[in-house]
Structure formats: C-alpha cells, structure tokens
C-alpha cells in the first residue's frame, strides 16, 4: 500500500439511522410500512403513480427535518483533509453526507431532493411535493416529473466512475449497509480483487461480512469517528 492510500467508502442506510431515518432491512422487510415492490420499482410507478409519488413526497419532506450525525461529520472531515484519492459512494438517497460537507460523493441510487423529467431528461433540485404533478422547470411539460431515485430493476448511476475508483483503491470501507442490494454488495469483492484492504463498520455482520479483512460492529456514530481518527493519525505518522 502507498503511504497515502486511495480510499473508497461505501455507505448505506445504517449511516443515517442515528439521524432518525429508518433503514430498509430493520423494518422486517418493510420500508416505512410499505413493501418494496409497491413503492420502489418502475412497475409500481406504472401501476399506481399516486401511491409512489405520495410515498416519496413523505420521505422527501421527512429527510429535510433530519440532521447529519457524527458519522457523516467524520466522513466529511476525512474528505476535506485526505491528500490522496477518496470517493464516498452512498446508496442513501438522503442528503446528509453533503449537508455535513462531503464533496467527493456519488449518490449511486439517486437523491430525494432531485426530480427527473421523463420527457426532456433534465434533473431539477426538488424540495416540495411531486404528487400534485407540477410542470417540469426545464421543458414545461406537465406531469412528467418522477423521483430521481434508482428503483429496483433500474441501473445505478455513475457505475463507470465507481468501478474506476474501486480498481484503484488501496482501502475499501463499507459502512452501515446490509450487503443485500447488488451491485453495491459486490463492491467489496471488486476492491479485494484490485488488492485493496477491506473493512466493514456495521451494527452487525452484513451478509458479505466474510469478504472483509476486518469487521467492527456497533453504531456508526461511535465506529466511524474512531476509524477516521485512526486513519488520519496513521497517515500523519507515515508522512
């Protein structure tokens, strides 16, 4: 490993859990009392767009009442000072990483605070509801906006950039993710194949826990600041 390792950090719903945003798997397979198939697939949107738009309108409103926690803050601090390559790939659709100050960030599953026009393909920052079918701010078409969320069965965003970073990574860290949703669940194997050391920070062993060189289990607000301090101290010593 170089003295300044290239770092890729994958985050999931567990990093936002202590900010008061529910995870997926912890709700007994339900997401906010809904089955995934009823709210998070293109088929669900085609079948019952009002239900899907209402569901995301509630999630979009809810995240705006939440604040980043110590785990988001620690990752933003690492991003700000790390002299090597670093990429935070989040599966989260909340905006808590960027509100904490993270800049080198990819939202691979989209964002609650973005609307996508299915007519002109424009993305617009969106904080209000979509259920009342507002016109697209770019092309003016009525009723063509959908949540800018990658639903199950759709292609995650920026995969070329993510695999490029994974293949250059010296260190891969997975935080607060169950390892149940692909392709993100396969990133640890990609990084290992490229020679990276791999660490899991999660409340409990994830489904892919055995792929990691090291696993620490506990709440993200405790584990992540400690890990960030360690890596910053180690890089100072080797500089």
Q: Rule CB under 6 A: is residue 156 a binding residue for ligand NAD? A: no
Three-state DSSP state, 11 = strand
56 contacts 104 by C-beta, under 8 angstroms: no
Q: Contacting ligand NAD (CB under 6 A), which of 8, 21, 75, 162?
A: 21
- The residue (of 136 and 156) whose beta carbon lies closer to ligand NAD is 156
Q: Rule CB under 6 A: is residue 119 a binding residue for ligand NAD? A: no
Question: Alpha carbon 118 to chain centroid distance?
Answer: 23
**Interface region with ligand NAD, contact rule CB under 6 A, candidates 7-15, 123-131, 135-143, 187-195:** 7-15
Q: Contacting ligand NAD (CB under 6 A), which of 73, 79, 94, 170?
A: 94
Site for ligand NAD in 162-181 (CB under 6 A): 176-178, 180-181
- The residue (of 126 and 170) whose beta carbon lies closer to ligand NAD is 126
Q: Residue 197: enclosing H or E segment and its boundaries?
A: strand 197-202
Nearby residues of 225 by Cβ (< 8 Å), 6 or more positions away: 70, 71, 73, 74
Our answer to whether residue 210 is catalytic in this structure is no
3-state SS string for 77-115: HHHHHCCCCEEEEECCCCCHHHHHCCCCEEECCEEEEEE
Nearby residues of 202 by Cβ (< 8 Å), 6 or more positions away: 14, 174, 175, 176, 177, 178, 209, 215, 217
- The residue (of 16 and 144) whose beta carbon lies closer to ligand NAD is 16
Q: Rule CB under 6 A: is residue 75 a binding residue for ligand NAD? A: no
Three-state DSSP state, 199 = strand
Picking from 189, 231, 181, 183, the residue whose alpha carbon sits closest to that of residue 210 is 189
Q: Rule CB under 6 A: is residue 10 a binding residue for ligand NAD? A: no
Residues touching ligand NAD, count (CB under 6 A): 27
Q: Rule CB under 6 A: is residue 69 a binding residue for ligand NAD? A: no
Site for ligand NAD in 200-219 (CB under 6 A): 202-204, 206, 219
Q: Rule CB under 6 A: is residue 220 a binding residue for ligand NAD? A: yes
Q: Rule CB under 6 A: is residue 18 a binding residue for ligand NAD? A: yes
* CA trace torsion 186, 187, 188, 191 (10° rounding): 130
Q: Rule CB under 6 A: is residue 93 a binding residue for ligand NAD? A: yes
- The residue (of 76 and 136) whose beta carbon lies closer to ligand NAD is 76
Q: Residue 161 corresponds to which tokens in the numbers above?
A: 């950039």
In DSSP terms, 217 is beta-bridged to: 202
> Which parts of this chain interact with ligand NAD (CB under 6 A)?
12-14, 16-18, 21, 23-26, 91-94, 109, 176-178, 180-181, 202-204, 206, 219-220
């Amino acid at each position: 490993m170089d003295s300044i390792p290239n770092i890729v950090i994958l985050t999931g719903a567990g990093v936002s859990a202590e900010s008061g945003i529910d995870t997926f798997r912890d709700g007994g397979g339900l997401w906010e009392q809904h089955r995934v198939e009823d709210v998070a697939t293109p088929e669900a949107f085609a079948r019952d767009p009002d239900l899907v738009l209402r569901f995301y309108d509630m999630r979009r409103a809810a995240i705006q009442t939440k604040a980043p926690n110590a785990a988001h803050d620690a990752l933003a601090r690492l991003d700000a000072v790390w002299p090597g390559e670093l990429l935070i790939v989040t599966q989260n659709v909340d905006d808590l990483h960027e509100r904490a100050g993270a800049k080198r960030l990819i939202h691979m599953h989209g964002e609650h605070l973005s609307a996508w026009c299915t007519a002109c393909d424009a993305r617009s920052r969106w904080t209000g509801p979509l259920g009342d079918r507002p016109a697209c701010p770019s092309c003016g078409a009525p009723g063509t906006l959908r949540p800018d969320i990658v639903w199950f069965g759709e292609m995650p965003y920026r995969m070329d950039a993510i695999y490029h970073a994974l293949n250059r990574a010296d260190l891969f860290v997975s935080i607060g993710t169950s390892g149940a949703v692909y392709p993100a669940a396969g990133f640890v194997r990609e990084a290992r194949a490229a020679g990276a050391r791999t660490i899991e920070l999660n409340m409990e062993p994830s489904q892919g826990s055995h792929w990691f060189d090291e696993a620490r289990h506990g709440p993200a607000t405790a584990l992540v600041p400690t890990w960030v301090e360690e890596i910053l101290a180690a890089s100072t010593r080797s500089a």
